[in-house]
Structure 1
């Protein structure tokens, strides 16, 4: 359903969505795990065709993450080189170069803007009154497992059910990931941006997972593009990890922290080496155990979803889609409780081998700096954990010399 600022409801097909005015700068702010990667891939792949229809994609990449992290004063992923204002300045130049044409910018990291002042600065620099905000939403019960495994890919060591307990049952609900509710308390996210631009310049789209291309049709309608110009782009690197893969990585995170290895090592060898190669080369099969959200957490998330839907409805922003989806209590195929034999995840040998190869290939291709000096002791005098750390540093040093 489409709902305008007067709350009149209209059918949710693309023909009934009024396109934004020519010259609008459509700013898609996510948040995370709401179809952002899929729409970014489709927009980037179609940028030349969009330009022929008067719509520009100003970024030079599928996702201008570094620029947006800099704008929001975020440090980025664990071990990555911190973004700078130069990244943001370059994106602003590219946006200004679009002139009076319609343009679209998409990054889920805009949802991490910490306060109203940051939001106001971003909006003003991108064009002020020309900026229209687009927020995409999915039910929390579908977001939580995906967001947890993403946090694990950035070093989290906490198990899923323990993490759910902290997010849903342990006030102030900000440990171990304070970014979660800043992003996913969706009513407050909408309110932050609506306070700056006004509710008439905010559109909320409720993503229906039953319609895999529905979000693309909505973007086409809002931008005045021909139907089916945007098409899905396969992206194995963006797939979610299985439970076994996530648990393997989570235990690796524990060893990594216990041995006090440098974060740069994690970025190069683990996230962009082992994990990336594993995701690109291994496709989960029907026998792989997926991350299961317990019923109590599904119900708690649905209750929060109902509160958020009601609050968003009072803001006066434009709503496209069925807000009732945000509070639906229904276990999907991904969330159905596993049988007793399925409860223990097992990672296939070929998956483990691909992960290990990815780390080795990354070490050979892009060795990183080591930070800890080896102590002058014999192997027999060195603990196993320290030996692992020292050997890792020495391997990196030899690779760099080669």
Structure 2
């Protein structure tokens, strides 16, 4: 898509969670300069700024639990976008949680000086229900899988977080209320087992970027948990109680280290919906696809991707919501503790090296500079890394 206007063309990728967003964002932010060379600008200093902007848009930035930097972040990203030439992308899946008025205000901030487009990535609800339960558990939830599914089915008013962000038609209606349908883009995630680069190809073309411009061979993050690992994490959440609050240290310690670094790497039983729940999910997927078709939005991919074949992922011989036996969880827990100790030691060693480097740079700057130069290492980069690590530790944060 070549720009035909002198105004910047701003793409707001507003959701939805668990639709390959982390993969897409990792590709773009790991190659930000190359994307800029190909005509796509990512405003802000880093990807975290886009998360902070979701807080600002959703009226959460004043919460003292969040960084003060979140206040006014949407205006700062918008101002940078409006001062740009060509295509601009603002992307975070938590924008999907904005209500109609919040979304309208956010779009209005850009509409006067830019051609605004809204992009939603979407996946079938059979996969989304189990994926969202895992994500809830990674965010301190103690709800069982079966209880979560029951809650989704009973929410006929569509007021829960799940339906707020997973009703793709509703997300596009809120964010695109003041935009023509041709500027609303629905990018479908291909069926399970498909080449993940298909999603990248669809998304890149939508935002005006040559798919071949960036490397998609990256280490994957935010993978699924098996049933045993998810249940173990759920029980850890129960045991933690009010300790390690969210917002706060929980995502830094539990989500990023225990869930992503350790549990995701372990093999487990694939989660599946019971047959009747899968039929429900297929029916809901079909209903959303029909609404999207009636809206006349730009579909990149195929709406049929949102409607899987009934029976494709249902459990057969066993109850998919049965809790793994205690003996299985005990073995899983012991293995996880061992892996956790290894990770903690690796991080301790890394922190010690950074502390030693910072101390040398502070107490013996000339010697530090000479040694680094002799080893042909970028001095300023090492100093900056050591400084950022020490600063992050003082704030109790995990450095980038």
Picking from 202, 213, 231, the partner of 2:184 is: 202
Picking from 105, 116, 119, the partner of 1:121 is: 105
Tell me the TM-score normalised to structure 2 length: 0.74
Correspondence 1:152-171 to 2 at 5 A: 152-169=137-154, 171=156
The 3 A distance-change label for structure 1 pair 361 and 154 is farther
Q: What's the CA shift for 1:208?
A: 0.5
Render the CA deviation track for 1:230-253: whole Å, top value 9, x for unaligned: 333535542222222221221122
Q: What's the CA shift for 1:153?
A: 1.4
1:205 alignment partner, SS class = strand
The 3 A distance-change label for structure 1 pair 77 and 352 is farther
Cα distance in 2 between the residues matched to 1:299 and 1:33? 20
Counterpart contact for 2:104–2:177, Cα < 8 Å: no
Q: Which residue is 1:386 aligned to?
A: none
Counterpart contact for 1:242–1:291, Cα < 8 Å: yes
Render the CA deviation track for 1:364-398: whole Å, top value 9, x for unaligned: 98xxxxxxxxxxxxxxxxxxxxxxxxxxxxxxxxx
Render the CA deviation track for 1:235-272: whole Å, top value 9, x for unaligned: 55422222222212211222223xx43626x842x432
Correspondence 1:242-391 to 2 at 5 A: 242-257=226-241, 260-261=242-243, 263=245, 267-268=248-249, 270-278=250-258, 279-281=260-262, 284=265, 288-331=268-311, 336-337=315-316, 344=325, 346=329, 347=332, 349-355=334-340
Higher alpha-carbon deviation: 56-65 or 77-86: 77-86
Picking from 26, 36, 40, the partner of 1:41 is: 26
Q: Which residue is 1:84 aligned to?
A: 70
Cα distance in 2 between the residues matched to 1:152 and 1:79? 20
Q: Which residue is 1:183 aligned to?
A: 165
Q: What's the CA shift for 1:290?
A: 2.4
Cα distance in 1 between the residues matched to 2:165 and 2:210? 32
Segments of 5+ residues of structure 2 without an aligned counterpart are 352-395
Render the CA deviation track for 1:131-166: whole Å, top value 9, x for unaligned: 111111100111111111111111211100111011
Counterpart contact for 1:292–1:337, Cα < 8 Å: no
Segments of 5+ residues of structure 1 without an aligned counterpart are 1-17, 366-398
1:29 alignment partner, SS class = strand
Counterpart contact for 1:217–1:227, Cα < 8 Å: yes
Aligned Cα root-mean-square deviation (Å): 3.4
2:178 alignment partner, SS class = helix
The number of residues matched between the two structures is 338
Q: What's the CA shift for 1:302?
A: 0.7
- 1:134 is the counterpart of 2:119: yes
Picking from 205, 209, 218, the partner of 1:221 is: 205
Q: Which residue is 2:368 aligned to?
A: none
1:329 alignment partner, SS class = coil
2:213 alignment partner, SS class = coil
The structure with higher relative contact order (CA 8 Å, sep 6+) is 1
Cα distance in 1 between the residues matched to 2:158 and 2:340? 33
